[in-house]
């Protein structure tokens, strides 16, 4: 279900910004409001136009080219895929995160990739949540999950951290709350006695990479469905389909 804002006519709930461009950008720093806003303007007949509560979608990962394509960075890859699919430019730094502001349908959305390194992701997510004052139910975290087979996705309205250090750190910076949605991307378990850290920082095999590429496309559709429809039967069917998508009958 979509959560509609209900302020008085003419009220505009926008993304306030006091942001800094990346060093390699030629665009100046700005102090302004994003042109993407959530408003309820008055129509000619006195009725109001329905707009929606913005979403903040955060992918967890490690910054830097050495981590690109590794298992621990699939959260970043989902954000990149959404950015490309929706035409949202990731060109602004705020709260230790690379962010982009745009929309999915009529719903305002902020995409974020914390640049703090995985285990300190909360240092970015906490300030972003406080600054934009988006309710926890509209903060979606996207991250890798070893308890799921490679390429299998799961969308949940809330949950624990499951010993994921990045997720655990985020929860700590959200006053310990677990009441926020999350999209987890399966990366499987380390083979044999392989060190977990080495496994997480390893790139996918060619077969695994194909599965992940498919999951990225499905992840974009899952985020679209959630943002536009909320947690409903579509999400239930999505999770069921993901659970059995590699099961051969």
Q: Cα(152)–Cα(215) distance, rounded to whole angstroms? A: 7
SS3 of 175-186: CCCCCCCEEEEE
Q: Cα(209)–Cα(175) distance, rounded to whole angstroms? A: 36
SS3 of 43-90: CCCCCECCCECCEEEEECCCCCHHHCCEHHHHHHHHHHHHHHHHCCCC
Q: Cα(228)–Cα(107) distance, rounded to whole angstroms? A: 7
Residue 74 neighbours by CB under 8 Å, 6+ apart: 61, 143, 144, 185, 187, 212, 215, 216
Rg over alpha carbons for the chain, rounded to the nearest Å, is 18
Can you tell me which residue has the tokens 């979606």? 140
215 and 185 in contact (C-beta within 8 Å)? yes
SS3 37: strand
Q: How many CB atoms sit inside 10 A of residue 86's CB? A: 18
SS3 117: coil
Residues annotated as catalytic (active site), given as ranges: 72
- Taking each helix axis from N to C end, the angle separating 165-173 and 122-132, rounded to the nearest 10 degrees, works out to 40
């Amino acid at each position: 279900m979509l959560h509609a804002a209900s302020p008085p006519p003419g009220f505009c709930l926008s993304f306030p910004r006091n942001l800094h461009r990346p060093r390699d950008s030629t665009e100046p720093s700005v102090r302004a409001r994003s042109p993407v806003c959530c408003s309820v303007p008055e129509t000619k007949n006195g009725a109001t136009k329905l707009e929606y509560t913005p979403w903040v979608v955060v992918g967890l990962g490690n910054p830097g080219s050495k981590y690109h394509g590794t298992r621990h960075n699939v959260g970043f890859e989902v954000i990149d895929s959404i950015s490309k699919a929706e035409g949202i430019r990731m060109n602004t730094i705020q709260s230790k995160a690379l962010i982009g502001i745009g929309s999915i349908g009529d719903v305002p959305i902020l995409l974020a990739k914390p640049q703090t390194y995985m285990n300190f992701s909360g240092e970015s997510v906490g300030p972003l949540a406080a600054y934009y004052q988006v309710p926890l139910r509209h903060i979606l975290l996207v991250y890798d999950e070893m308890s799921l087979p490679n390429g299998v996705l799961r969308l949940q309205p809330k949950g624990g951290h499951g010993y994921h250090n990045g997720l655990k750190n985020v929860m700590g910076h959200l006053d310990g709350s677990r009441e926020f949605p999350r999209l987890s991307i399966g990366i499987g378990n380390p083979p044999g006695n392989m060190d977990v850290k080495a496994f997480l920082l390893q790139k996918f095999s060619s077969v695994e990479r194909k599965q992940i590429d498919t999951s990225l496309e499905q992840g974009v559709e899952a985020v679209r469905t959630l943002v536009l429809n909320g947690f409903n039967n579509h999400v239930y069917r999505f999770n069921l389909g993901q659970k059995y998508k590699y099961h051969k009958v």
